[in-house]
Structure 1
Amino acid sequence: MGFSIPQIDWLSLALPVAYLFVLGGSLYTFSTIYRKRKAAQSANLAPWFGPHLQRDIYLSLLHLDQRDDEQGKEKKEASPRIPDSVIRAALLRRAVEDIHRLVQIRTAKQACSALLQKGSVGDDLWQRFQRAEKELEDELRDVVMEANALAPNWGQIIFQSANEIAANTTLREKLDNIQEQTEAEKAWWEKRRAAIQADFMRELDEGDSKDGKSVSASTAPSSVDGEPDAVVVGAAGKKKKGKKN
């Protein structure tokens, strides 16, 4: 007795297989388009920080001599060479600006994450923050490499010096703001003192006028039509009668 091989209906299986292929292709196409669109949106997002002016100045000074070398030796001899101290100062100012940005990133990170969890902000803001954080990490690494290239082991202490300069700058700005507010507050207190003095003098004048009225009232007769005289006479008469008795 032999076994019969069941016949496979390939026509009925073709429809599910085609459906799976179409579904997989649609999902792949959708994910590819979605990733490209998100990447384009992330690239078009506004930067977290403004332009890095200190970095641009440092790079301009650093590549100035290289541009002179490309243009020829005669022009290089005609133009003076930029001192190394100027380049180091420009790199230090760049590190100071990086310190300010690092403080802003650390201050805003906890607030942004909390707002994102509550749903108060969208994903665009968080993407901007993450991109700024990544760019700042690359910037700090680049500054350390540039510092070590200019002076041996300077990259280990450049941010310590930059932190001290940033702290002194912040303190100086606060002192300048206090001094600017001093004149305005002094003028306000002068006006306030003049107003208080004017009110006090007005109260004194009103008190003097009230005292003058009370003195004049005490010297005037207490009643009209001679009634006080009658009372006095009556009292005198009683006293005389008492003496006679």
Structure 2
Amino acid sequence: MVDWISLAVPFAYLGVLIGSLATFSHLYRARKAAKAASLAPWFGPHLGRNIYLSLLHMEPAEGKPKVPDSVLKAALMRRAVEDIHRLVEVRNAKQALQSLLQKGSVGDDLWQRFQRAEKEIEAELRDVVQEANAFSPGWGQTIFQSASEIAQNQLLQQRVAELQAQASSEKEWWDKKRATIQADFMKELDAGSQTKNSDDDAVLVEAGGPAATGAPQQQQQQQRPKSRGKKKK
């Protein structure tokens, strides 16, 4: 006769163990998802997307026409340009972030934020392609090419503006530096001229010049007429 009690104990133990593991796994995933949701986003608010969605869902008021498609297309292009900037930033930061994560220089929270940003940008790109194709079929295949050119032009203009600002600041610094050098040079010239004059005076004194022989000559001139008068007598 089979001892069902002895068999039920291991099965009950396995059931409790499996249930505990399932509960722990569910709680762990829920806590991890809640923690990931509470992390700060990698990027700030998407201004281009917010403007486009606001224009798209704007209901025409009484006496006012609907938002033209040209305005919506321009807003969608601006949204795509902002997506290009974010995509470039994500690609540039990924390799460096992976290296820092392997070295232990950054925590898992930062890596989770980055992974969430990658998923968000992928979903955003798909959404833009769908919106572009809704306006005109096939536009979704070329919208990001145009947006990339616009983004590059914006970066070039920003770089030129930075160089111009840097050039003006450097010019101002050089003007001040040149004025300081000129003032120091004039001071050295003045000091050199004064030193030269004092040296010339010292040389005249040592050589018996007028400054040194003026008094004896006057005495000799005063004594000569007296000697001549005695000879006539």
- 2:204 corresponds to: 219
Of 94, 104, 122 in structure 1, the residue corresponding to residue 107 of structure 2 is 122
- 1:99 corresponds to: 84
Letter matched to residue 188 of structure 2 = E
- 2:178 corresponds to: 193
Matched, 1:47 2:66: no
Q: Following TM superposition, by how much is the alpha carbon of 1:47 offset from its aligned partner in structure 2, in angstroms? A: 0.8
- 1:231 corresponds to: none
Report Cα offsets for 1:141-199 as digits up to 9, x if no partner: 11111111112211111111111111111111122222223332222111111100011
Distance 2:21 2:197 in 1: 100
Report Cα offsets for 1:34-77 as digits up to 9, x if no partner: 1110011111111111111111111111122xx34xxxxxx55x
Matched, 1:81 2:66: yes
- 2:55 corresponds to: 61
Distance 1:142 1:16 in 2: 53
Matched, 1:169 2:146: no
Matched, 1:31 2:25: yes
Q: Across the two proteins, how many residue pairs are aligned to each other?
A: 208
Which ranges of structure 2 fall in alignment gaps of 5 or more residues? 209-233
Distance 2:135 2:38 in 1: 36
Partner of 1:220, secondary structure, is helix
Distance 1:99 1:63 in 2: 24
Closer, same or farther: CA 130–201 of 1 in aligned 2, 3 Å: same
Q: Percent identity, please.
A: 62
Q: Following TM superposition, by how much is the alpha carbon of 1:213 offset from its aligned partner in structure 2, in angstroms? A: 2.0
Distance 1:147 1:14 in 2: 63
- 1:150 corresponds to: 135
Matched, 1:181 2:166: yes
Partner of 1:81, secondary structure, is coil
Q: Following TM superposition, by how much is the alpha carbon of 1:24 offset from its aligned partner in structure 2, in angstroms? A: 2.8
Q: TM-score, normalised on structure 2?
A: 0.81
Q: Following TM superposition, by how much is the alpha carbon of 1:220 offset from its aligned partner in structure 2, in angstroms? A: 1.6
Distance 1:118 1:142 in 2: 36
- 1:242 corresponds to: none
Distance 1:9 1:151 in 2: 72
Distance 2:82 2:10 in 1: 62
Q: Following TM superposition, by how much is the alpha carbon of 1:222 offset from its aligned partner in structure 2, in angstroms? A: 7.3
Q: Following TM superposition, by how much is the alpha carbon of 1:208 offset from its aligned partner in structure 2, in angstroms? A: 1.3
Distance 1:152 1:29 in 2: 49
Q: Following TM superposition, by how much is the alpha carbon of 1:9 offset from its aligned partner in structure 2, in angstroms? A: 8.9
